[in-house]
Amino acid sequence: MSVAVTGFPAHAASQVATPGPADLAVLTAGARAGLGAVWPFVAGVILGKQLTIWLIGFGLMELALAFPAVFSALKFACLGYIGWLAWRGANLRLGDMGDGRETPGFLAGLVIHPLNPKAWAMIVAGFTTFVTPGTPILQATAIIAICLLAMQVVFHPLWATGGVMLSRQFAGKPAERFLMYALSGLMVASVVYGLFLGGKA
């Protein structure tokens, strides 16, 4: 009785490494704030998923499924929040990233995964697909949490670094505005695709 310790890490890597709302938010935050200032936001994103894993592991998903309206409200809350982040990013120029008021912080990152029903669905898939029936819930939740934490610690900083590299290429140039619009648009599009068309969490 255990978690599939070869299959689930591969599943986790495929979910965390490929573009989704959290990855694109981290990318945009890296472009906006720079690598030194983005770590609180990245830490919030990581901890937010960890909190979601433990809540789901100990029964919150069953409660949500018993009240479908919860999921509907969660979808629109997620879309609204990511839309707000995207609007802020679209209207920010990279040359302003030294302004601490425009740097997304820990709390901004913390709420991304708890508001994302697709992140919930990905975590539930981990429990239902890769956990042997009868495995103690504490053991299963801990293994899933550790695997996803390892993937986030690896891949989220890479996305943030990618954002920093983009800012170095485009800051102060005519294409900068289009870059910020594109990043913000991709963030919103990834949420719409993930929530309504079955994309990544």
**Top-confidence residue, 197 or 149:** 149
Residue-level pLDDT at 78: 67
| Region of poorest pLDDT, from 25-34, 52-61, 82-91 | 82-91
Q: How many residues does the chain have?
A: 201
Model confidence band, residue 63 (pLDDT cutoffs 50, 70, 90): low
155-185 burial: b if 16+ Cβ within 10 Å, else e: bbbebbeebbebbeebeeeeebeebbeebbe
Residue 123 near residue 55, CB atoms below 8 Å: no
**Top-confidence residue, 41 or 62:** 41
User: How many degrees, rounded to 5, is the angle at CA 38 between CA 36 and CA 42?
Assistant: 130
pLDDT digits 0-9 by tens, 135-173: 888 888 999 999 999 999 999 999 999 888 888 888 778
Q: Which residue type, as a one-letter code, is found at position 83?
A: G
What average pLDDT does the segment 82-100 reach? Answer: 65
Residue 190 near residue 24, CB atoms below 8 Å: yes
Residue-level pLDDT at 158: 94
What average pLDDT does the segment 181-200 reach? Answer: 67
**Top-confidence residue, 85 or 198:** 85
Residue-level pLDDT at 127: 82
What average pLDDT does the segment 100-116 reach? Answer: 79
Helix axes 176-196 and 68-90, enclosed angle (nearest 10): 170
Distances in whole angstroms, Cα of residue 2 to Cα of each of 7, 12, 58, 94, 143 = 12, 16, 17, 47, 9
User: Which residues fall within 8 angstroms of residue 199, CB to CB, at 6 or more apart?
Assistant: 20, 118, 190, 193
How far apart (Å, rounded) are the C-alpha atoms in residues 38 and 32? 9
How far apart (Å, rounded) are the C-alpha atoms in residues 167 and 32? 7
Residue-level pLDDT at 106: 93
Confidence (pTM): 0.74
Model confidence band, residue 189 (pLDDT cutoffs 50, 70, 90): confident
Residue 125 near residue 61, CB atoms below 8 Å: no
Residue 143 near residue 3, CB atoms below 8 Å: yes
pLDDT digits 0-9 by tens, 4-51: 666 788 878 877 887 777 887 888 888 877 888 889 999 999 999 999
Mean pLDDT for the chain overall: 78
Residue 173 near residue 40, CB atoms below 8 Å: no
**Top-confidence residue, 92 or 25:** 25
Backbone Cα Rg of the chain? 17
What average pLDDT does the segment 98-115 reach? Answer: 76
Element (H, E) at 161: helix 137-170
pLDDT digits 0-9 by tens, 65-76: 677 776 667 667
